[in-house]
Amino acid sequence: MRAPAQVKIALISSSPRRREILQMAGFNFRVLKVDVEERAYPSPYETAVKNAESKVLAAKELLADDEVALAADTIVVLGDRILGKPTSPAEAVEFLKRLSGAWHTVITGFALLIRNRLVSSFDESRVKFKRLTREEIEWYVSTGEPLDKAGAYGVQGKGALLIERIEGDFFNVMGLPISKIYDILSLELKK
């Protein structure tokens, strides 16, 4: 295993949560921003992975020779519906009403560009919300926290108060399944 600080990562993301996870794990990284329009594909898994791949490939020419590019896309799936980032407080309220008392799936697709090799995968976790009152939903939306997050909540913030149970990787729900990414990096960098 290679120490995380020995791997130079170009994080293709504007997410403060992804930066926080990489810092916590001890990675040496810089943030690159690219303008890529996210698209919907036939399955939620394909949507998350293909969007992550598009971001990594768009940054290819911006990488230093010794850098690994990393991008991710996190989506929330309730039944057969993808709940993206709400476009308004009213939509955030609707999302949270749907999630109240229900299980849903959080899928994070990720892509790595390692020595010009594209490696991609995903992780998924199941999350169950508590049964929420109208007042709890309105309070949470009034904090502004759900407005820039898939599914209208952040597990690492005030949204933690809404969650009854998580099955799977907490960091996947936060937006970056760092343990799985580290395992793949370790294998790929040995090649």
Instruction: Give 90: exposed, middle or buried? Use CB within 10 Å, 0-12, 13-18, 19+.
Output: exposed
Per-domain residue ranges of the chain: 4-189
pLDDT band for 1, please (50, 70, 90 cuts).
low
DSSP 102-130: -EEEEEEEEEEEETTEEEEEEEEEEEEEP
What pLDDT, in 10s, does the model give residues 70-128?
A: 999 999 999 989 999 999 999 999 999 999 999 999 999 999 999 899 999 999 999 99
Q: Which CATH class is domain 4-189?
A: alpha beta
pLDDT band for 5, please (50, 70, 90 cuts).
confident
Enumerate the active-site residues.
73
Q: What pTM was computed for the model?
A: 0.94
Whose tokens are 């926080």? That residue is: 20
Provide the percentage of residues in the chain whose pLDDT is more than 70: 99
Give the mean pLDDT of the chain.
Answer: 95
What is the C-alpha to C-alpha distance for residues 53 and 119, in angstroms, rounded to an integer?
A: 9
Contact indicator for 114, 68 with CB cutoff of 8 Å: yes
